[in-house]
Every structure is written in structure tokens, then in C-alpha cells.
Amino acid sequence: MPKNDASPDRRLRSVDLARLAGISTQQIRNYEESGVLPPAARTPSGYRVFGEVHRQALLAYRALLKGYGPATATPVMRAVHDGDVPGALALVDAAHAALHEERIALRAADEALEVLAGEEPGPLPRTGGLRIGEVAALLGVRTSALRVWEAAGLLVPSRERGTGYRVFAPSDVRDARLVHTLRRSHYLFDQIRPVLEGLRREGGSEALRAAIDARGKRLTARTRAMLEGAGALHGYLGGRPDRFTAAATTTGSTAGGPGPSPT
């Protein structure tokens, strides 16, 4: 756990920490109660007494928040203050692994668009909806392949009222052509699905390309924020993750006499 190198004369109030982070004093109290900050000492009159270690913990947590968000940053700090540094680092590892998976999926979508860019769509045999046999003939695949793709959720053709026959609109034919192209390039269904969902959501490959680029920039910014947060955590641990002496070990009897209501 972090090394407590705070001077015993270094005393901070809730308001001092609140001003440091630009938050309310109530939030500082919440942080201590939730384990984000180590336990604070109390004066005989009930005042919280914070020290340098609390300032460092607050700065580390606020840095972690920027990259990891509260769902990871809070349990990380709580684990550190509970003495479970390996558990805290495992949470950090899991967050980086999840980000890596997002980047892999984004790269697959980008590569899929490159594959599609080299494919000429070709004209449809007629306007309006096509039957499954016509789509199969157009793509040069078996109708069973189209049914498998539909069962996997990659294709969602409508059904003709009364007969129940599949009707492939132009957008459905586009999706089928995309699946066929990517399957020939050995893409898995789980890699194809996000591309299809992106095309449907964005309305076309150019819009999807722009969305992928924007997402890539956001991932890069988040990675940088995570690195900054991880560095702040490392600094807070102080190179001695096996030991932690909380600032709360300062006794209340030396923190002053009676005062206003406890904080």
C-alpha cells in the first residue's frame, strides 16, 4: 500500500481538500466513507483531521477518474486502502484489457471497410424486393448460406404477408453482399456484426468511416488519460505497495481542542 510520508504537523481540513479538487466538502466526506480516501483521524470534538496522504490519495483518485471512470477508480482506491494492492492492480489490468478489445474491434471494422472499398456492388436484377433465391444467385452462394447468416442475426429481411417468403430490400442485399465479401476474407460473425450495425446506424460506409475515425480518436484520448491515472496511482503507492500507514494514525488528542460541529 502507499507509503505515508506526511509530516505529523501537516493538517488539512475537509474544505482544504475540497478546494484542491474543486468539489464540495460533503464529497470529501463521501470519499472517506467509501474508502476512496484512507480513514481520517478525529479530534476530541469530532473534527476530521486529514494529512498529506489524503491529499495524495485525492489527487490519485481524480487522475484515475479521468481515464477509468468511477466504476473502476473507486474500487481501485478502496482495494488499496483495504490492503489489497494486487486486487487494485487487477482492476487496472482489466480496464486496459477491455480497452484493448475495443481497439481490436475498431481495427476489424476499419479493415472490413477497406475490403468493401475494393468490391463493386453491381446492379440489382430488378427494383423492389428480391426473393432469397435471387439474392443467392446474385452473390453466387447457396440459399442455405443466407439462412445461416440470418439465423446469426447478420441479415434481417422482411417477410411477405400471407406467404411468409423472405423479401430482401436493397439495404438487405447490401448487407448480404457485405457478409459474403467479409466471409471470403475469413472474418468471423462477431467481427462482421459490428460493421453491419455501424452501417445501419450511420447510413452508409462513408459515415461509418467517419464514425470509426472519431471513435479511434476518443480511444486514443482515453488511453492517454488512463496512462496518466496509472502513473498517479503508482506515485501514490510510493514504490512500497506492501506497506501503508494511514494519516489517521495521528491521534485526536494532538489535533486541538473543542470547536464547531464535527466535519
Query: Tens digit of pLDDT for each residue in 183-210?
Result: 887 888 888 888 888 878 877 777 788 8
Q: Is the pTM of this model over 0.75?
A: no
**What is the end-to-end Cα distance of the chain in Å, rounded?**
26
The pLDDT of residue 137: 93
- In the chain, the amino acid numbered 25 is T
8 Å CB contact between 149 and 179:
yes
In this structure, what DSSP letter does residue 249 have?
G
Identify the helix (H) or strand (E) that includes residue 166.
Answer: strand 166-167
The pLDDT of residue 151: 95
Query: Tens digit of pLDDT for each residue in 9-52?
Result: 578 888 999 998 899 999 999 999 999 999 998 888 888 889 98
Determine how β-strand 48-49 pairs with β-strand 41-42.
Answer: antiparallel
8 Å CB contact between 54 and 37:
yes
Q: Which domains does the chain have, with CATH numbers?
A: 14-101+224-254 (1.10.1660.10), 120-217 (1.10.1660.10)
The pLDDT of residue 124: 67
Closest CA to 173 of 117, 207, 129, 112: 129
Query: Tens digit of pLDDT for each residue in 57-98?
Result: 999 999 999 999 999 999 999 999 999 999 999 999 999 999
